[in-house]
């Protein structure tokens, strides 16, 4: 399989491991092997049966070809894209920037999309799909975004419907959306300590309704879950975000005021030295005047 835009590069290589086929160029051979080892060794996903469908993972040699392969519909800030209908994933290779993330975690995230789609098809909304992929990849650093999200403290939590729409709001909005979606799925998983998401996914597949699955698996409505998720997340992270931003504002203020303070201290020191010199000169003049008076009298 030769991907578009590859004519100016060396021959494309292929690696078949388990149910995975990797397509890459020589410079990414080591990266492909590492991802393949991790994918085969950890090919199960929380709450889902073991995937059986074959998957193709294409590693783009540079950012230009990555954009060509994923198409214009993909967001500019995306570092990897999964295409569940064709069971295909496109990743950036070793020339990717630091913002592309850990390639092993990124691959795991995208494979989770395929696994969820294999079992549930198109049932999951975007927020659940992305939240589950982050949860399955153990992207715990998603919560760091919430710790500095001042909007949680000032404007409150979005609804699930608003969360769904926020993925299309640009890179900054999307990062917050990923973090909130991760928290939502993690909270779902914590509701059943014995079965995790297993029964929930089974009920969702048979009923084809997220609300019905929530009722059967956890004993309350999706609306009840939404209220609980919003309250818990804001209580846990809203205060931290406010404290973090207040601390940041304080540091910024200190950064701005410290040079002014130093300048003023130096100016006051020079003024004091000038006054001391003037006093000393006046005192010397007074002494000289007294001596002149005495000499004149004599």
- The model's pLDDT over 32-62, given as tens digits with 9 standing for 90+, comes to 999 999 999 999 999 999 999 999 999 999 9
Q: Residue 258: what pLDDT?
A: 56
Backbone angles phi, psi at 141, to 5 degrees: -70, -10
Q: Which residue has the tokens 């040079």?
A: 259
Q: Is the pLDDT of residue 244 over 50?
A: no
What residue ranges define each of the domains in the chain, with the CATH number in brackets?
A: 1-122 (3.40.30.160), 130-298 (no CATH)
Which residues, in sequence order, are CB contacts of 14 under 8 Å at separation 6+?
1, 21, 22, 23
Of the pLDDT bands very low, low, confident and very high (cuts 50, 70, 90), residue 142 is: low
Locate 291 and state its tokens: 């001596």
Contact 31, 93 (CB under 8 A): yes
Out of 46-55, 63-72, 86-95, 237-246, pick the least confident. 237-246
Of 154 and 115, more confident = 115
Average pLDDT taken over every residue of the chain: 82
The pLDDT value recorded for residue 36 is 97
Band (25; pLDDT cuts 50, 70, 90): very high
Contacts of 148 (CB under 8 A, 6+ apart): 241, 244, 245
| Percent of the chain whose predicted confidence (pLDDT) is above 90 | 52
Average pLDDT over residues 56-83: 88
What pLDDT is recorded for position 167?
Answer: 85
């Amino acid at each position: 399989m030769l991907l578009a835009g590859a004519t100016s590069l060396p021959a494309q290589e292929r690696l078949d491991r388990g149910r995975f086929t990797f397509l890459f160029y020589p410079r990414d051979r080591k990266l492909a092997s590492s991802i393949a080892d991790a994918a085969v060794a950890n090919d199960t996903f929380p709450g889902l049966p073991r995937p059986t469908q074959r998957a193709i993972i294409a590693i783009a040699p540079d950012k230009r070809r990555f954009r060509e392969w994923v198409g214009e519909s993909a967001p500019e800030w995306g570092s990897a894209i999964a295409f569940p209908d064709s069971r295909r994933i496109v990743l950036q290779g070793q020339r990717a920037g630091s913002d592309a993330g850990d390639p092993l975690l990124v691959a795991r995230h995208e494979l989770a999309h395929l696994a969820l789609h294999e079992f549930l098809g198109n049932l999951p909304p975007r927020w659940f799909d992305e939240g589950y992929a982050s949860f399955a990849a153990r992207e715990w650093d998603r919560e760091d975004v919430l710790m500095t999200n001042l909007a949680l403290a000032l404007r409150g939590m979005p609804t699930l419907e608003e969360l769904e729409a926020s993925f299309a709001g640009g890179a900054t909005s999307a990062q917050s959306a990923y973090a909130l979606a991760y928290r939502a799925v993690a909270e779902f998983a914590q509701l059943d300590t014995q079965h995790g998401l297993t029964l929930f996914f089974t009920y969702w597949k048979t009923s084809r309704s997220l609300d019905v699955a929530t009722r059967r698996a956890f004993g309350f409505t999706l609306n009840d879950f939404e209220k609980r998720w919003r309250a818990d997340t804001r209580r846990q992270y809203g205060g931290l975000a406010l404290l973090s931003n207040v601390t940041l504002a304080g540091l910024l203020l200190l950064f701005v005021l410290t040079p002014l303070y130093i300048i003023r201290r130096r100016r006051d020191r020079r003024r004091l030295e000038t006054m001391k010199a003037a006093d000393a000169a006046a005192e010397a003049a007074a002494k000289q005047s007294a001596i002149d008076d005495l000499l004149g009298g004599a």
